[in-house]
Structure 1
Amino acid sequence: MRSDTPPAAVPIAAPTVPGRIPLLGHLPQLALKRVAFLQSVRSHGAVVRIFLGNRPVFVLNSPEAVHDVLLKQSRKFGKGHLFDVARPFIGNGIITSEGDFHLRQRRALQPAFHRDSIAACVATMSGIAEEQVAAWQPGEVIAMDVVMRRMMTVMLVATLFGTERPDGAAAVAELGEHVAAHLTTVMRGVFVGTVLPAPVATSPVLGHRRYLAAAAALRDLADTAVREARRHPEDGGGLLSVMFAGTPGNPHGMTDTEARDELLSLLMAGAETTSASLSWALHELGRRPDIAGRIRAECVALPAGALPGAATLPFTERFLREVLRLHQPSWLLMRRALEPVRVCGVALPRGAELIYSALTMHRDPAWYPDPLRFDPDRWLGRTEKDLPPGAYVPFALGNRRCIGDHFAMTEMLVVVRAVVSRWRLRPAAGHRVRPVVQALIRPNALPMRVSPWPAG
């Protein structure tokens, strides 16, 4: 009897990228070339296999593969090795947690990231940005990468801990400064532990002790902040009060340990990633006075009380979208197959480790003509909806999409407006800005000279 059901497609094996070295695999290429290596493997297929030592890792190279893993079949995948490395040091917060616990925590945090809640934070964000930017002096050279990291940390901490007590506000500012001092060390340690074998990654030569000390200091700071918030519930407001509130899935609210872990996750994702993006944004403004002038005109014309967003600052929003395309800071993320699965016809076994790179996807000429050209107006002719799903993923997709995506965009719009409305930026003479690729991609340093805009 003839069946009308077509035969199932035969699964295929992922091709192995050339250049594998005995015992080391592709580890030297990834460790040394990093983004360039991941960019180079895109030509070998939608899903390819590399080896980190003897450990096979699959790299997702097509929008279809990324969309399949992050959205269509997301329940078949866990977080992966990178997050296993991070979990002992930043806890089991929304970045690292899995399954039902992750869903429960995400639902508990979600009210704090509704648009109305974020709108209520704009005055706090603007106040911090304006205060810091107003302190600069004409002709001064500002280390923008350092300033952005501190500003984003203080801004995030201030919105996490709503406080009306003077001593509480001072404690928030101090916490922000301490956190900023430790975050970069911890992020660097997570990257080293991800790409290198454990015996090498834990070597004192690679700064493992500094990593452990910074991670311990961050946990202590977060523990202290949570205890203080418990002791002063009269302050109200702030994200910690949301964490403590009961929900249908968790009527007693989060425990102190759970709140600490969520706090660390939000600091990692919010302060470090957003400050890196802002540093690249200011770098582009310094190189492109024509774009800076257009943004300034748009920001100065924003009516008092209007909230920053795509509707009110359309060119500035396109500018930031292009920053997140060309300078996506999260260049390497991972997933793990929880069961046997096929992705783009490639059979992956249970436990398979996967890598995807939003940065290399965002630089694919198939989707972005002349991809290394910085052009905010490319988004006028082709919006995100015109791209294949998975081709533009600055905040990931699906149930792992960054919970703070709108929060981060609002922060960046506020800061760019505060800077450009007051100051014209110029690169410092004699300094060449280079990307440093670790857990995130940051400028090696970003000294910029500030001067007032000419009158008229």
Structure 2
Amino acid sequence: MNTTGVGGVPLAPGGVPVVGHLLGLARGRAAFLQGLRGCGDVVEMRLGRRSFYVLNAPEAIHEVLVAQSGKFSKGALFDRVRPFMGNGLATSDGPFHLRQRRAMQPAFHRERVTRYSETFVEVAGARVGGWPTGRVVAVEREMRELAVAMLVPTLFPFAEGSQTGRAIQDLGARVSGDLGVLVQGVLRATILPPALAVVPTPGRRMFLASAAALRTLAESAVRQARSSPESHGVLALMLAHEGGMTDEEACDEMLTFLVAGVETTATSLSWALHVLARNPEMADRMNAEARAAEPGAVTPAALPYTARFVQEVLRLYQPLWFMGRRALEPVRVGRYEIPRGAEVVYSAATLHRDPASFPDPLRFDPDRWLARPEKSLPRAAYLPFGAGNRKCIGDGFAWAEMLAALSAVTTRWHLHPAPGHRVRAVADAQIHPDALPMSFTPRVPN
């Protein structure tokens, strides 16, 4: 097989006729992309008949996400998401995306996030405080349910006892399960050729059922917000924005935030507890910091070590291994011309393990951020929430959730990994632990 593709871009090794690199990517996923980092700043990967240009250098990623972002639209991943999540912030483009982002911005101002933090602290304390002493718990499931429990009251803060409020509380576990099925189904649909992606397998039927259940919940919430003048929170702020949103637009945004606001937070918290269980001295340090801070203070300024710990989790255990864009016109990225219509992808997970930016990259060290703060890194070397005009609008929201959850855990419990279990990273929609069995013993206050 040729070693170069279109425009002289190096061709990824290991491709075979007809399917290209599909088998290698399906087997290794994040590991496959990690292996491409030594092949050049831009590498062509072929999945069946489709070419994908993998960006490995921070400079190339910055060109696509920031400097020349107007020459790119959302790519194949978002095409497959759109029929199920609608045209929310994650999937929309152009003037409509800008309008929706402006409509959402007030809900994520710093003052609003400070108010949400009170809810996060209360919810996290109640859920974590109810964990059983000494009994093995599936932490990955607990973290997803905790992420749902923290997010839902800020999206749908309806009066206690309302029909929708009761339905949402009752559906917490169902929402968690449906989200898991949805995001895995979207990934399969992205990687597989279109003809195979729609084969009505049992997994595909589960995916469609979960997508329908989540949309029904979002539609119910929007109807309730329309009819309840006293409702507030993210949903009400969206509906009240000048010009407003249609019910369908608001529903699309609710689905976007359910998916984006639960899965990445839950996965990152799972990895965080995995690290803490194996490094009790880090948990002790976070406990002391939280107890010394003002009650309920969950900001990086109030919890600097915990914040560095979260930065390091988002670096070494970055859940997003596959993100992309589509070229709207021929674009020069570095030395190469990317053709119009080409799919361009990058992996934050592999980027964050680049020794040029992160010496000894496989070592987990929160204090590396003291020696080299984020602002001193090359542009686009560290992308936990993306970059440019499509950077995650809820990054401050997610930070507050994670700091609240970790403070709740480390001030209450010592964490113990289940004996004999080896945690394995699995890359489907995100890179997450396959299973995280753990037990807890109470932490005696000093």
Residue aligning to 1:66: 61
User: Shift of residue 454 of structure 1?
Assistant: 4.2
Residue aligning to 1:227: 223
Residue aligning to 1:119: 114
Residue aligning to 2:407: 417
User: Paired residues, what number?
Assistant: 440
Residue aligning to 1:170: 166
> Normalised by the size of structure 1, how large is the TM-score?
0.94
Change (3 A) 1:455 1:106: closer
Q: Which SS does the other structure have where 1:300 is aligned?
A: helix
- Worse-superposed segment, 429-438 or 75-84: 429-438
Residue aligning to 1:4: none
Matches within 5 A, 1:31-70: 31-70=26-65
> Normalised by the size of structure 2, how large is the TM-score?
0.96
Q: Does 1:209 align with 2:205?
A: yes
- Worse-superposed segment, 277-286 or 160-169: 160-169
Measure, in 1, the Cα distance between the counterparts of 2:70 and 2:230.
Answer: 40
Measure, in 1, the Cα distance between the counterparts of 2:32 and 2:259.
Answer: 26
Q: Is the Cα–Cα contact under 8 Å of residues 72 and 325 in structure 2 kept in the other structure? A: yes
Q: Kindly, what percent of the aligned residue pairs are identical?
A: 53
Q: Which SS does the other structure have where 2:326 is aligned?
A: strand
Measure, in 2, the Cα distance between the counterparts of 1:124 and 1:26.
Answer: 46
Identify which of 271, 286, 289 aligns with 2:277.
286
Identify which of 80, 86, 90 aligns with 1:91.
86
Residue aligning to 1:238: 233
Residue aligning to 1:196: 192
User: Shift of residue 177 of structure 1?
Assistant: 2.8
Residue aligning to 2:3: none
Q: Is the Cα–Cα contact under 8 Å of residues 272 and 313 in structure 2 kept in the other structure? A: yes
What per-residue deviation string (whole Å, max 9, x for no partner) do you get for residues 308-361 of structure 1?
Answer: 112110000000000000111111001000111110121011101011000000
Q: Is the Cα–Cα contact under 8 Å of residues 48 and 58 in structure 1 kept in the other structure? A: yes
Q: Does 1:427 align with 2:423?
A: no
Q: Is the Cα–Cα contact under 8 Å of residues 154 and 172 in structure 1 kept in the other structure? A: no
Which AA in structure 2 matches 1:151?
L
Identify which of 20, 24, 27 aligns with 1:29.
24
User: Shift of residue 217 of structure 1?
Assistant: 1.2
Residue aligning to 2:295: 304
Measure, in 2, the Cα distance between the counterparts of 1:455 and 1:440.
Answer: 36
Matches within 5 A, 1:327-366: 327-366=317-356
Q: Which runs of 5+ in 2 are unaligned?
A: 1-5
- Worse-superposed segment, 110-119 or 201-210: 201-210
Q: Is the Cα–Cα contact under 8 Å of residues 158 and 173 in structure 1 kept in the other structure? A: no
Measure, in 2, the Cα distance between the counterparts of 1:455 and 1:407.
Answer: 29
Residue aligning to 2:310: 320
Q: Which runs of 5+ in 1 are unaligned?
A: 1-10
Q: Is the Cα–Cα contact under 8 Å of residues 154 and 177 in structure 1 kept in the other structure? A: no
Q: Does 1:139 align with 2:129?
A: no
Q: Which SS does the other structure have where 1:342 is aligned?
A: strand
Q: Does 1:377 align with 2:372?
A: no
Q: Is the Cα–Cα contact under 8 Å of residues 157 and 175 in structure 1 kept in the other structure? A: no
Identify which of 172, 180, 184 aligns with 1:184.
180
User: Shift of residue 455 of structure 1?
Assistant: 5.5
What per-residue deviation string (whole Å, max 9, x for no partner) do you get for residues 78-135 of structure 1?
Answer: 1100000000011110100111001000000000101100001111111111111111
Measure, in 1, the Cα distance between the counterparts of 2:167 and 2:212.
Answer: 19
Q: Which SS does the other structure have where 1:78 is aligned?
A: strand
Which AA in structure 2 matches 1:200?
L
Identify which of 78, 100, 104 aligns with 1:105.
100
What per-residue deviation string (whole Å, max 9, x for no partner) do you get for residues 338-395 of structure 1?
Answer: 1111101210111010110000000111111111111101111001111110110010
Which AA in structure 1 matches 2:167?
A
Q: Which SS does the other structure have where 1:323 is aligned?
A: helix
Measure, in 2, the Cα distance between the counterparts of 1:174 and 1:108.
Answer: 30
Q: Does 1:275 align with 2:271?
A: no
Q: CA RMSD in A?
A: 1.4
User: Shift of residue 169 of structure 1?
Assistant: 4.2
Change (3 A) 1:19 1:137: closer
Change (3 A) 1:93 1:384: same
Measure, in 2, the Cα distance between the counterparts of 1:344 and 1:41.
Answer: 17
What per-residue deviation string (whole Å, max 9, x for no partner) do you get for residues 42-95 of structure 1?
Answer: 111111101001211100000001111000111111110000000001111010
